[in-house]
Chain A
Amino acid sequence: MILPYLAAVLLALATAYSAVVSFRQKPEEGSAKASWIFPEGAKRPTRIFISIATLLLLVALGAWFSINARNSTPRSMRFLIPEGYSGWVRIEFEVPGAPALPEEAGQPLLRIPPSGTLRTSSPEQYGWVNNSYGFYSSAGVRPIPDSGPGKLIWGKINGEASGASGKRKYEEFFVGTQQQFKGQIEGAKPKD
């Protein structure tokens, strides 16, 4: 948490320095030599050095971002929810002893039990993902809209909870209509 304080201190220094540079009385031509505090521009070798260093920094940053993006591309998950289920769904990740998530067409498959809580030893996926949702029953699977007017997925949150068994990562969302979701939220609010 030192970064904001350091940034503020440096900003104060930069403001004071730039104000002095902007409003100071310039010495007459040839009367005084430029000091190291107020230099008259950098010399040619310095400029070349800074240009090369900047170029190298940009190339290194670009390479780092591209390698990082390639290695950590998150996979979208497929959530299967029991037909007719309405309420909060909770998925707990990295639970020791719990089964790992199966995969379907390269996508982790989360089959939510009728209780609404799924525990898995698999890790949570972070980043930009395009998760898909579906209701499952003996008749098969039908998709659940998670956007648009008929949206049935609300209030997606993820976090970390501490308990007796240590820290546990979880994800929650609500399945139901907007009215049900609002009613659920209002019902959870403490009354005055």
Chain B
Amino acid sequence: MLPFILYFITAVLTGFHLYALLSFTLYGAPFNLLELVAMFGSFCLLIAAYVSLFKPDAAGRLALIACLAMWCFYGPAIAKIVRTRLGKPAAVSEFCRPSLAPKSA
């Protein structure tokens, strides 16, 4: 029962998240192919959940492939979030203190 619950909940949650992201394309957001690949992975994970009731080992292999497909999207997305949070914001402008010392001839 554990593999079924784990695969099923993961597939439903990631599927819903990716569906929400893909639906933004209707409102003009650029289409990302990785989201579609990850969505397919999510569907495969749902199938793996049901296969796990009969053949847990085969389901494990299928689930692993599905998860790797989903990491195609989640991996770069997490990397981007981490880089954005940790990175220093670039200076937009720089203040230059004017020199008061007379220029030597």
Q: Give chain A's interface residues, CB within 8 Å of chain B.
A: 3-4, 6-8, 10-11, 13-15, 17-22, 26, 36-42, 46-47, 50, 54
Contact = CB atoms under 8 A, between A and B. Distances in A.
A167 to B, nearest CB: 19
Contact of A17 (B6, B14, B17): B6
**5 A-B pairs with least C-beta separation:** A21-B60, A18-B63, A15-B67, A18-B64, A42-B53
Contacts of B2: 36-37, 39
Given A14-B10, A21-B56, A22-B57, A39 B3 contact: yes
Interface of B is mostly: helix
B47 to A, nearest CB: 12
B64 A40 contact: no
Q: Which of B1, B64, B68, B74 has the most CB of A within 10 A?
A: B64
Given A14-B6, A21-B64, 13 more contacts: A7-B74, A10-B9, A11-B70, A11-B71, A14-B7, A14-B45, A14-B63, A14-B67, A17-B6, A17-B63, A18-B7, A18-B60, A22-B64
Contacts of B7: 14, 18
Contacts of A42: 1, 4, 52-54
A41 B54 contact: yes
Nearest to A6: B13
A50 B8 CA distance: 11
A90 B45 CA distance: 46
A4 B64 contact: no
Q: What is the size category of the interface that chain B forms with chain A?
A: 20 to 34
A47 B63 contact: no
A39 B17 contact: no
B4 A50 contact: yes
Nearest to B20: A3
A8 B16 CA distance: 13
Contacts of A50: 4, 50, 53
A8 to B, nearest CB: 5
Contacts of A21: 3, 56-57, 59-61, 63-64
Contact of B16 (A3, A15, A54): A3
Interface string B18-45: 0010000000000000000000000001
